[in-house]
Structure 1
Amino acid sequence: MSIIDIPALSLDQRLEGVFGENTDPMFLLDERAAELIPDYQAIVWECDAKTFVFSHVSQSAEEIVGYPARRWVDEPTFWADVVLHHDDRDESVTYCASETACDRDHDFEYRARTADGRVIRLRDVVRVVPPMDGHPKRLRGIMLVVG
């Protein structure tokens, strides 16, 4: 039994626990997501805040949307061009870019297309990580399947 009573924490509190510190390596966020939000299908990710090119996407992405996690990292516009539903693309990209430009953490919902043609709804919770240790400003996020 864990010292922390996970069910007693709100989802937002559990998400804060997953994010941890800005210096935490991404594998820790993956591990904490499995521990703190086991009742949600979640994709943990990190990208460059200027280019929105992903540097990390958890393996759970393949289970949830059906595309290999490697595609998110190898194809610079994969999330915007393939995953995002075309009707939500412009609004989602614009919102995320404007909030990021203002250095504001944010969250938003949008429809996503899966590899097998289904449409699912995702809540994307995004944290802005300021530049440090020679790294550019980054975004870290957790996409949760909702609805």
Structure 2
Amino acid sequence: MPLPLPDTRPVACDDPGVYRTLLESTRAIPWRIDWASMRFTYIGPQIEELLGWTPSSWLSVNDWADRIHEDDRQQTVDFCVAQSQKGVDHEADYRALTRDGDQVWIRDVVHVVRRADGSVDSLVGFMFDITARKQAEDKILQLQRELEVLSYRDSLTGVANRRMFDTLYPVEWEKARASGEPLSLVVIDIDYFKQYNDHYGHVQGDECLRRVAQAMDAGASGPQELCARLGGEEFVLMLPATDADAARTVAERCRKLLRQQELPHARSGTGRTVTVSMGAGTIVPGAQDDALVFLDRIDRRLYQAKSAGRDRICDTET
């Protein structure tokens, strides 16, 4: 005779004490607010361990609001009240203040309880401590920001890279076109850099690139000015709202700062120290002008400077 199978159907339980025990044994903090009086009719004892405030101190929604960080308070209260008035279940993340003055990230999950006629009877919900999750999210965001910065930064010289220039140049071009202000570019090439590498070696060549980049970056020190490495031994200065005279002043300042470094270059054809050649130009972009055509024009001026003997600035067509 086969043995009877056990009855696995759930057993109904009408003892409210059981439910309370279950609720109070979780990490989540249950609570209930009477809608008419806006007073707490229950909050789990776990609240004291988390925030330091005793359950008996949670009398009304004012106590809840007062214990929200002031930077989050108004937005959180306005949102929760509006959603509750609409009878919409919702959740809110905010920083709660502990009795000791610290703060804990809370996720409040709210359910609106309605009467048979549809009117709001009460709000019930759970508070969850999400501090560790928020800290992890903040760390991830910080790392993402750091990676984004690094992705726009030349790893060797520390100045902006070609990607940064290619991203910002079209933006500054459109701004200049819209505002009618001039935009200047200076393209820079280290003179006889191949000979420098052949003579001093690539390690010293990398140091030369770093020192030149520092001089160019220091020379283009305005809040909107950008120094970027285009690749190899070539750099560019992007100078928004800068006319031709001001652009030449910036270029001359960069050359002066480089001369002051007195970097030896025994194989240079322009002297005994490292020098640079520069092509410069200024434009107020019109509707028919093209950003890449203008950049190509500045490149040609750079090669005119090199053809004319190097260690100079060419800012006009020849």
Give the alignment's TM-score, normalised by structure 2.
0.33
Q: Rate the CA distance shift 1:76–1:97 in 2: closer, same or farther, 3 A.
A: closer
**SS state of the match for residue 112, structure 1?**
strand
**For residue 128 of structure 1, what is the aligned residue in structure 2?**
112
**SS state of the match for residue 87, structure 2?**
coil
Gaps of 5+ in 2: 1-7, 9-14, 133-318
Give the alignment's TM-score, normalised by structure 1.
0.69
Paired with 1:66 and 1:117, the residues of 2 have a C-alpha distance of 10
Deviation at 1:27, TM superposition (A): 6.9
Equivalent residues in 2 for 1:1-147, closer than 5 Å: 28=19, 30-34=20-24, 38=26, 41-73=27-59, 77-81=62-66, 83-131=67-115, 137-146=121-130, 147=132
Q: Rate the CA distance shift 1:60–1:31 in 2: closer, same or farther, 3 A.
A: same
Of all paired residues, the percent bearing the same amino acid is 32
Q: Rate the CA distance shift 1:136–1:106 in 2: closer, same or farther, 3 A.
A: closer
Larger Cα-atom Rg: 2
Paired with 2:75 and 2:115, the residues of 1 have a C-alpha distance of 26
Paired with 1:97 and 1:25, the residues of 2 have a C-alpha distance of 29
- RMSD of equivalent CA atoms: 2.6
Deviation at 1:31, TM superposition (A): 3.1
Q: Rate the CA distance shift 1:53–1:26 in 2: closer, same or farther, 3 A.
A: farther
Q: Work out whether residues 48 and 136 of structure 1, in 8 Å CA contact, stay in contact via their aligned partners in 2.
A: no
1:94-133 alpha-carbon deviations (Å, 9 max, x no partner): 111111111111111000000111111000000001136x
Deviation at 1:55, TM superposition (A): 1.0
Q: Work out whether residues 47 and 139 of structure 1, in 8 Å CA contact, stay in contact via their aligned partners in 2.
A: yes
The higher relative CO (CA closer than 8 Å, separation ≥ 6) is in 1
Deviation at 1:76, TM superposition (A): 5.3
Corresponding letter in the other structure for 2:49:
E
Corresponding letter in the other structure for 1:141:
G
Aligned residues: 116
Paired with 2:16 and 2:129, the residues of 1 have a C-alpha distance of 23
Q: Work out whether residues 28 and 126 of structure 2, in 8 Å CA contact, stay in contact via their aligned partners in 1.
A: yes
Deviation at 1:33, TM superposition (A): 3.5
Corresponding letter in the other structure for 1:131:
R
**For residue 235 of structure 2, what is the aligned residue in structure 1?**
none
Paired with 1:26 and 1:142, the residues of 2 have a C-alpha distance of 18
**SS state of the match for residue 54, structure 1?**
strand
Deviation at 1:34, TM superposition (A): 5.0
**SS state of the match for residue 58, structure 2?**
helix
Paired with 1:58 and 1:80, the residues of 2 have a C-alpha distance of 17
1:30-58 alpha-carbon deviations (Å, 9 max, x no partner): 433456xx4xx321100023443211111
Q: Work out whether residues 34 and 41 of structure 2, in 8 Å CA contact, stay in contact via their aligned partners in 1.
A: yes
